[in-house]
Amino acid sequence: MSHTPAPTSAATPPTGTRQAQKEQSRRALLDAALRLLDHQNLSGLGVREVTREAGLSPAGFYRHFRDLDELGVTLVTEALENLHLLVRRVLAEQGEPIELIDRTIAVIARHVREYRPHIRFLARERHGGVRRVREAIAAELSVFTEETALALGALPQSAGWNEAELRMLAGLYVEHMVSTAAAFMEAPAGSRAAERRIAALARDQLHLISIGHRHWLAERPGGAEQRPPATE
Amino acid sequence: MSHTPAPTSAATPPTGTRQAQKEQSRRALLDAALRLLDHQNLSGLGVREVTREAGLSPAGFYRHFRDLDELGVTLVTEALENLHLLVRRVLAEQGEPIELIDRTIAVIARHVREYRPHIRFLARERHGGVRRVREAIAAELSVFTEETALALGALPQSAGWNEAELRMLAGLYVEHMVSTAAAFMEAPAGSRAAERRIAALARDQLHLISIGHRHWLAERPGGAEQRPPATE
DNA sequence: TCATTCAGTAAACAACTGTTTGCCGACTTC
DNA sequence: GAAGTCGGCAAACAGTTGTTTACTGAATGA
């Protein structure tokens, strides 16, 4: 019961309380929204609904966000910050391709397990009804692709690859990462068996892609100049 | 304006009118919903909103659907019927891999151009907020994967592949098809330039996967012994 | 021809929505 | 200490929502 916040002073009402309390409410709103978004869409969320879940009054919402869309964008940046950190970490690692693959999958699995609501939110809103949110996600994913392309370029298997080809491959990897994350997310919450099945599948698929990576140069289609338009 | 339904009789109020009119209203509802779903989520849609757009009274809705969810499921089956037909057609084709790739991409591009609202709906609700709809989409995609695996098994490059491996590869292809369709869909409506860019990218990615396909057996991970026998 | 079926309607229901207003009272600064 | 800042609240606003009710009138089948 004796809470003893004790950031600066001893018994007197400590400084910084004001901002801390505000931040607390903000977090409560974000968390409440995240909780509700587990079985709803952002475009179907309501201000009153969120404040009710967060234990605030409806009017309180507007002390923190102008809109629900604004809250949505905040959620996106938050979710992608985590993910971004994680991607960088994976890309910085070194070792044999097969080891990299296994570690990447393990990291994704753990991340989904830890931040499932965030991931679900991203999956849901990637093609969702709110433009600004969609664009924020797309922009961040394209950053991931760029970074992945850069990292791929540093690998010995990529000798002789031009930038467009690296981006092509990176896109494949990023897209695969996304759908693997979605698969983990969709799996029954605690089922390690399902997780292992998904991981094994993803492992083989990534392996197959990396085989394609290794043999690409020898069978590069048309030598890059005579590309016929594929559209219809 | 002269509608001339002419199913049975000639000038007298023709039989079947009743049912035809009902079907017309039903279509109006579905189309209106599809129109609204272009910038909304299913979970954010309203009965009144749909009936207003369709030109019916709110109560009229319940003559056709119990729920908005039910309408959503109808939309899913409708959209996936089209898609299913298309997938079968592509899989039945024969020729060199590179030709198959080009034709597949062309077919996807055309289909997205033709049925953009349906595709957008599928992309949006694949991880959307309505359980039954999500499940319907997932089930159908898994059927696609099975069919693709079967078709892949018939190719000469797949000699020596067991069923699990075929499904693994099929999953890769289907997932890639999905994200390619999403990319086409997200592209500015009429831009052939954007379409060509996406098509070229997808072409290279599919090509790389098919290279992986060809070299898989020689580099199968962990040899062939620590892997369950093909006869599942 | 006449009774029946039934898609579509208007009206009413209570419940809910987003947002603004004025106010309170705890924190902060001087 | 006093003055000011500002997060949170209750109340009120005008709309909207899903769904049910009892009805109308055209298509139907005998």
- pLDDT tens readout for residues B186-209: 999 889 999 999 999 999 999 999
Strand D, nucleotides < 7 Å from a protein CB: these are 6-12, 16-22, 27-29
What is the mean predicted confidence (pLDDT) over B34-51? 96
Q: What are phi and psi of A40, to 5 degrees?
A: -145, 170
The CATH 1.10.357.10 portion of chain A extends over 67-215
Task: State whether the beta carbon of A59 lies below 7 angstroms from any atom of strand D.
Answer: yes
Phi-psi region of A222 (alpha: psi -120 to 50; beta: other; left: phi over 0): left
CB A203 within 8 A of CB A102: yes
Tell me what the mean pLDDT of segment A175-179 comes to: 97
> Of A45-59, A86-100, B110-124, where does mean pLDDT reach its minimum?
A86-100
Q: Which nucleotide is nearest to B62 (CA to C1')?
A: D19
- With a cut of 80, say whether residue B226 has pLDDT above it: no
- What's the pLDDT at B82? 86
Q: Which single residue has its CA nearest the C1' atom of nucleotide C21?
A: A59
Chain B residues touching A129 at Cβ < 8 A: 39-41, 44, 124
pLDDT at A11: 36
All residues of chain A having their beta carbon less than 8 Å from the beta carbon of residue B205 are: 168-169, 171-172
In chain B, the residue whose alpha carbon lies closest to the alpha carbon of A217 is B208
- The beta-strand segments (E) located in A120-176 are none
Angle at A108 between CA A103 and CA A111, to 5 degrees: 125
- Tell which CATH classification among 1.10.10.60, 3.90.650.10, 3.30.930.10, 3.40.50.300 matches the domain B16-65: 1.10.10.60
pLDDT, average across residues A61-77: 96
What are the b/e assignments for B42-60, b being 16+ CB within 10 Å? bbbbebebbbebbebeeee
Whether the CB-CB separation of B141 and B172 falls below 8 Å is answered with no
Q: What is the pLDDT of residue A198?
A: 98
- pLDDT-derived band at A82 (thresholds 50, 70, 90) equals confident
Is it the case that residue A190 has pLDDT exceeding 60? Answer: yes
Euclidean distance between CA atoms A104 and A99, whole angstroms: 8
* Residues A160, A149: Cα–Cα separation, whole Å: 14
Separation between the CA of A52 and the C1’ of C19 (whole angstroms): 16
Closest-CA distance, B41 to chain A, in angstroms, reads 5
pLDDT in tens, A5-30: 333 333 344 557 889 999 999 999 99
Chain A residues whose beta carbon lies within 8 Å of the beta carbon of residue B232: none
Does any strand C atom come closer than 7 Å to the Cβ of A15? yes
Higher pLDDT, B2 or A85: A85
**Poorest-confidence range of A28-42, A83-97, B59-73, B96-110?**
A83-97
Percent of chain A with pLDDT over 70: 89
CA of B57 to C1' of D29 (A): 29
Mean pLDDT of B117-136: 95
Amino acid occupying residue A127? H
Residues whose CB falls within 8 Å of the CB of residue B81, separated by 6 or more in sequence, listed in order: none
In DSSP notation, A83-126 reads HHHHHHHHHH--S-HHHHHHHHHHHHHHHHHHSHHHHHHHHHHH
Q: Is CATH 3.40.640.10 correct for A20-65?
A: no
pLDDT at A66 over 60: yes
| pLDDT at residue A212 greater than cutoff 80 | yes
Q: Are A203 and B222 in contact (CB under 8 A)?
A: no
Question: Domain A67-215 adopts which CATH fold?
Answer: Tetracycline Repressor; domain 2 (1.10.357)
**Strand C atom within 7 Å of B9 CB:** no
Query: Quick one: pLDDT at residue A220?
Result: 83
| Per-residue pLDDT tens digits for A86-130 | 889 888 988 888 899 999 999 999 999 999 999 999 999 999 999
State percent of chain B over pLDDT 70. Answer: 89
Burial class (CB in 10 A: 0-12, 13-18, 19+), B14: middle
B/e letters for A23-45, b = 16+ CB within 10 Å, e = fewer, are eebbebbbebbbebbeebbbbbb
B59 CA – D12 C1', rounded, Å: 31
What is the C-alpha to C-alpha distance for residues B126 and B143, in angstroms, rounded to an integer?
A: 15
Residue B227 clears pLDDT 90, i.e. is over it: no
**Encoded amino acid at A157, one letter:** Q
**Ranges in chain B annotated CATH 1.10.357.10:** 67-216
- Contact by Cβ (8 Å): A216, B214: no
> For the residues B78-106, what does the mean pLDDT come to?
90
CATH placement of domain B67-216: 1.10.357.10
Sign of CA dihedral B55, A41, A192, A204: positive
**Which residues in chain B are contacts of A201 at CB distance < 8 A?**
168, 171
Is the CB of B128 less than 8 angstroms away from the CB of A41? yes
Residues of B in contact with A169 (CB under 8 A): 205, 208
Which residues 6+ apart lie within 8 Å of B105 measured at CB? A230, A231, B180, B199, B202, B203, B206
User: How many C-beta atoms surround the C-beta of residue A229 within 10 A?
Assistant: 13
Q: How far apart are CA A30 and CA A75, in angstroms?
A: 7
| Residue B2 reports pLDDT greater than 90 | no
The arithmetic mean of pLDDT across residues B60-78, rounded, is: 96
User: Tokens 């919903």 map to which residue?
Assistant: B33
DSSP code of residue B151: H
Protein B16 CA to nucleic acid C1 C1', in Å?
A: 21
Q: Is the CB of B6 under 7 A from strand D?
A: no
Contact A209, B173 (CB under 8 A): no
What average pLDDT does this structure show over B159-163?
Answer: 96
Distance CA B60, CA B75 (A): 18
Out of A43, A165, A204, closest to residue B44 by CB: A43
Give A158 to chain B, closest Cα distance, Å.
13
Using the beta-carbon criterion (under 8 Å), do A211 and B215 form an inter-chain contact? Answer: yes
A75's tokens: 């959620």
Which part of chain A has CATH 1.10.10.60? Answer: 20-65
Cβ–Cβ < 8 Å for A111, A82 = yes
> CA angle, A132 as apex, A130 and A135 as ends, to 5°?
105
For residue B27, give how far its alpha carbon lies from the nearest alpha carbon of chain A (Å): 23
Q: Average pLDDT, stretch A78-91?
A: 89
D7 C1' to A26 CA distance, Å: 11
Query: Do B107 and B93 contact (CB within 8 A), yes or no?
Result: no
| pLDDT number for residue A59 | 98
